[in-house]
Structure 1
Amino acid sequence: GFGIVWGLLIFNLDRFIVSTIRKRDSFKSEFLQASPRIILAIIIAIVISKPLEIKIFEKEINTVLLKEKNAMALNNKKEVANYFKSDVEKNKAETDNLKTEIAKKEKEVNTLYETYIAEAEGTKGTMKLGKGPVFKEKIAKHNLASTELDSIRKINLAKIAINDKKAITLQADLDKKVSETQPIIEGFDGLMARINALNKLPIIPSLFIMLLFLAIETSPIIAKLLSPKGEYDYKLEDLETALKATLTQDKYQRNLLVKTSASMHDKVYEDIAQDKKLYDLQRQKATELLELQAHNFVEKQKKTI
């Protein structure tokens, strides 16, 4: 339906463009007259060719769009990851510090254990076999460190568990953000996106299609310019000159009528101005009016006294 309407629109527009070009005695004049129509034909050719190119190269365009969507999806994930990066890294750093603290304390406890065992065996320290005062001192240090280790492990493991939950929450938020923006990327399939994708394809096929439509659109105008004057052109010129002559004559007659009428009115009023009887009548009326005004003025003055 739309294709038929579009075709009829273009057909009538082309018909109007060609029919309004007048044949002149000079090719230069004809070309200047047709130049706006040629530009319009070029615009129409480009407008028509683009949708057809998009349809013809649909598979290739879909491939380009798929690559762009994948690239956009990866960039989107990177941007979202960067958005949560500081929180994730901070949480991970806290967890690593807690684990490091536990490991450090465990190492200290193990070292103290080896120390008091070596003291008991007489291989290090006082080099005396048995559980003497030094042994008791070292085992006391070990027991104290072991108690501290248990306390640190309990506290830090609780914090690590909280951080692990926080990490899961952050990851869930990250995935949610990615999933929310994914439909926007999937919807990157509009007309402008397809035109941009078409421009990324080799230009030669698209250029030939556009040139084909350009030739189709401009051929009627070019044929009109190259063709000699025909019967229609002569008849049209005859009608135009006849109409122009009639309009010129009517305008001249109207101007002449205005001038004649003005001249007649001037002469009539000049004759009236020289009429003695009419002058005397006008003078009498003016005198009566002045007398009446003077009488009214006197009456008003009397009332104020």
Structure 2
Amino acid sequence: MKSILYRFLIGCAGSDEDILDKCPRSEHIKHAGFGALVLVPATLGLFSMTYAISTFVEKPYLYILAGIVWAGIVFIFDRFIISTFRKKGSVLKDISSLAFISRVVFSAFVGIAVAHPLVLLYFHESIDVNMDEVAHAKVDSIENVYQLQKKNLQLQTDTIDRNLRPISDTIHTQEGILHDEIKGVVRSDDRTTGKAGEGPTFKYDTAYLSRLYSELAQTKQSNESKKIDNANTMAKLDSARQSKINRLTFSRDYLERESALSRLTASNSIIKITTWFLIIFFILVDILPVTWKGLTSRGPYDEYLNEIELKIKNDVQEKIIDSETKLEIHKRNKEKELMVYD
């Protein structure tokens, strides 16, 4: 009584169990091995697609279901490839045949589809770090522009009141002149007449001082208006900065991870070599079943299978010949009947 595992592996290989029953044990082991080799790419496909879908789908049952479906597709492809490959007279003829080469090429493409998500999974920590660095760089770029604009506005605000100092100094000087003029003090700068009282010079200086007060008040008002404008501009800049940051999208889906891996391979030769090594390795894993079947020598199973197929072919040809013979006899009988009738 053969085990369930053996029957399962033989089914995975697509081999005929009835034919294997006629073969020695070595053929059983070989074909069970083919079935195990078919399962390996399917298992890798399960993990690769599950991971790939999980990068943009949050519900576990969806990406697990997608992984199972993809594993089934890979299994069906590989089972068909290995079960339909027929051994010829020699290994050289097998590996040089169009059937073998086409199956290897197709298996390689399936291997690439299986391999790439697994490469992303292998480098997932480095990819996460790279995506974080890119996200921080985008934020820092916005912050740097904002800080530069804010610094310029703050500098303008800090220097607005500087234009008050010359007017204030002039007012202070003019107040001293008026005080000395009304007291009759003679100044060394000849700005007073030396006559006490409110003379024409005093009145002129008083009017000039009034104009200075008015100019100072207007300047202060203008400065306050500029400060308010700068404060409003700064508030708008802050709002625009926050809005730009909020609009930034920090996606971590499959395509973004592809881009991150591309940046890593471009900047680090070790990662590039490792990536290609992993891809080639997984491709080899996927082409392994058909490759090993092509490289193994022709066995009793192949002989029995060829004999059965040849027998069926001969039977079909005999039936065709028999049908053609009967048809020819029927035609001749019809012709004889027509001649008798005439």
For the aligned pair, the TM-score class normalised by the smaller chain equals 0.5 to 0.7
Partner of 2:86: 22
Residue type of the alignment partner of 1:192? L
Change (3 A) 1:156 1:104: closer
| Distance in structure 1 (CA, Å) of the matches to 2:242 and 2:190 | 61
> In the alignment, what sits opposite 1:180?
246
Q: What does residue 313 of structure 2 align with?
A: 244
Give 1:229's aligned residue.
298
Residue number in structure 2 paired with 1:72: 138
CA RMSD of aligned residues (A): 4.4
Aligned-partner Cα distance in 2 for 1:68–1:148: 54
Matched residues in 2 for 1:223 and 1:49: separation?
Answer: 20
Which TM-score applies when normalising by structure 1? 0.64
Q: Does 1:137 align with 2:204?
A: yes
Following superposition, the deviation at residue 177 of structure 1 comes to 0.5
Structure 2 gap segments, 5+ residues each: 1-42, 48-66, 266-270
Name the amino acid aligned to 2:189.
Answer: K
Question: Cα–Cα, structure 1 residues 21 and 245, in superposed 2: closer, same or farther, change >3 Å?
Answer: same
1:33-72 alignment runs, 5 A limit: 33-72=99-138
Mark the CA change 1:178 to 1:127 in structure 2 (over 3 Å): closer, same or farther. Answer: same
Q: Which digits, 9 at most, give the CA deviation of each residue in 1:114-158, with x for residues without a partner?
A: 25745844222456434653343233112112123213423542x
How many Å separate the matches in 2 of 1:125 and 1:249? 143
* Correspondence list, 1:251-290, <5 A: 251=320
CA distance in 1, matches of 2:71, 2:311: 37
Map of 1:196 onto structure 2:
259
Structure 1 residue 70: deviation in Å? 1.4
5+ residue gaps, structure 1, are 275-305
Partner of 1:169: 235
Structure (1 or 2) with the larger CA radius of gyration: 1
Cα distance, 1:229 vs structure 2: 2.0
Q: Percent identity?
A: 18
- Larger RCO, structure (CA 8 Å, separation 6 or more): 1
1:39-94 Cα distance to aligned partner (Å, 9 max, x none): 22223333333333333333222222222221232235467x59x96xx89x959x
Structure 1: distance between partners of 2:305 and 2:281: 33
Q: Is this contact kept in 2: 1:112–1:138, CA < 8 A?
A: no
Q: 1:257 to 1:134 in 2, by over 3 A?
A: farther
Q: Is the 8 A contact 1:122 1:130 kept in 2?
A: no
Alpha-carbon distance change, 177 to 207 in structure 1, aligned in 2, over 3 angstroms: same
The equivalent residue for 2:189 is 124
TM-score, normalised on structure 2? 0.58
- From the superposition, tell whether residues 117 and 269 of structure 1 become closer, same or farther in structure 2 (CA, over 3 Å): farther
Question: Does the CA-based 8 Å contact 2:164-2:216 persist in structure 1?
Answer: yes
Q: Partner of 2:173 in structure 1?
A: 114
- The one-letter code of the counterpart of 1:34 is F
Query: What one-letter code is carried by the residue in structure 1 that aligns with 2:113?
Result: V
Question: d(CA) in 2 for partners of 1:78 and 1:260?
Answer: 99
Number of paired residues? 262
CA distance in 1, matches of 2:122, 2:231: 53
Distance 1:215 1:155 in 2: 78
Provide closer, same or farther for how the CA distance between residues 10 and 230 of structure 1 changes in structure 2, counting only shifts above 3 A.
same
Match of 2:62 in 1: none
Q: Which moved more, 1:226-235 or 1:255-264?
A: 255-264
Q: Which residue of 1 is the match for residue 28 of structure 2?
A: none
Q: CA deviation at 1:21?
A: 1.0
Contact 2:87–2:298, Cα closer than 8 Å, also in 1: yes
